[in-house]
Amino acid sequence: MKKIVEKASILIEALPYIRKFYGKTFVIKYGGAAQVKPELKDAFAQDIVLLKYIGINTVIVHGGGPRISDTMKQMGKEPKFIEGQRVTDQETVDIVEMVLGGLVNKEIVSLINNHGGRAVGLSGKDGGLVKAKKKIIKKQSPETGVDEIIDLGLVGEVETIDSSILTTLDLSGFIPVIAPVGVSKDGNTLNINADFVASAIASALSAEKLVLITDVEGVTDKKGKLISTLKKSRISALKKNKTISGGMLPKVDSCIKALQGGVKKAHIVDGRVQHCLLLEIFTESGIGTEILK
């Protein structure tokens, strides 16, 4: 009987959040271990289906970098990175589109549908969803001290989002699952960082939340302790003292962009924890870092 009462208490704790978020939209970037380990994949799909059934609309943007690199190697092509960005020629972008839009996307769609959801796979090219431009990065030359432009090839950044296809799917009860590729004005396919695609889509939809599922606990302080709540005004100082550095930088930057674009809250959560979405959204303490305006 005690265990049954405890289950009821958990449901009651979630009730205010269910009421608050009913009819709202969450944009979720899905990646890391949660996209690889079978038990975590199942837990993610169950979380998404539950959110839909209690009236929360979800849009999923997924990564797939390791699968792209593995496929490239199998095809005799060695992956190359500069400043953490994949150098993408025409052959590589064809592989990216095949892996993300085909293998990874359809696997996620099938998983959600197998758990009772109604997911639909898209890429940023469908319905003109993601209009992109070529990404330009600069690096200071150690010899001259002058910034040099580095050509990454067919790597892009989001220019505009046309969310009409997502609105149509939402009204019909579907869950969009989006591969992060876009198209340029001249018709080229561009490979784009999934965090920033998710951020741009969240802004375009005026989403209640942007949730980035990753392989770390969240933003941590110098002692390695999780920062549960982080105000946007603190972030510059944390970057300066290197508390936020490395792979966490683009994630935090994408969260800031989303907040600036009208998203209410952004979250960075640990996808290595089963049901991380439910634990972050429907419990008072949460398990990751929430970033506020």
Q: Identify the three-state secondary structure at position 243.
A: coil
Note the pLDDT tens digit of each residue in 104-127: 999 999 999 999 999 999 999 999
* Structure confidence at residue 224 (pLDDT): 87
Average pLDDT value for the chain: 90
3-state SS record for 30-77:
ECHHHHCCHHHHHHHHHHHHHHHHCCCEEEEEECCHHHHHHHHHHCCC
- pLDDT grade, residue 25 (50/70/90)? very high
Range name among 60-74, 142-156, 162-176 with the lowest pLDDT average: 142-156
Burial class (CB in 10 A: 0-12, 13-18, 19+), 146: exposed
Please give the DSSP secondary-structure letter assigned to residue 4.
H
Query: Is the confidence at residue 94, as pLDDT, over 70?
Result: yes
Which residues share a beta bridge with 61?
29, 178
Which residues share a beta bridge with 139?
148
Which secondary structure element, helix H or strand E, spans residue 207, and what is its range?
none
Q: Which residue has the higher pLDDT, 246 or 188?
A: 188
Helix axes 38-53, 105-114, angle to 10 degrees: 60
Residue the block writes with tokens 């959110």: 51
- Hey, what domains does the chain have and what are their CATH numbers? 2-125+164-181+192-292 (3.40.1160.10)
* Structure confidence at residue 53 (pLDDT): 93
* Structure confidence at residue 199 (pLDDT): 97
Which residues share a beta bridge with 208?
none
Note the pLDDT tens digit of each residue in 177-213: 999 999 999 999 999 999 999 999 999 999 999 999 9
* Structure confidence at residue 145 (pLDDT): 67
Token duo for residue 83: 């400043």
Query: Is the confidence at residue 80, as pLDDT, over 90?
Result: no
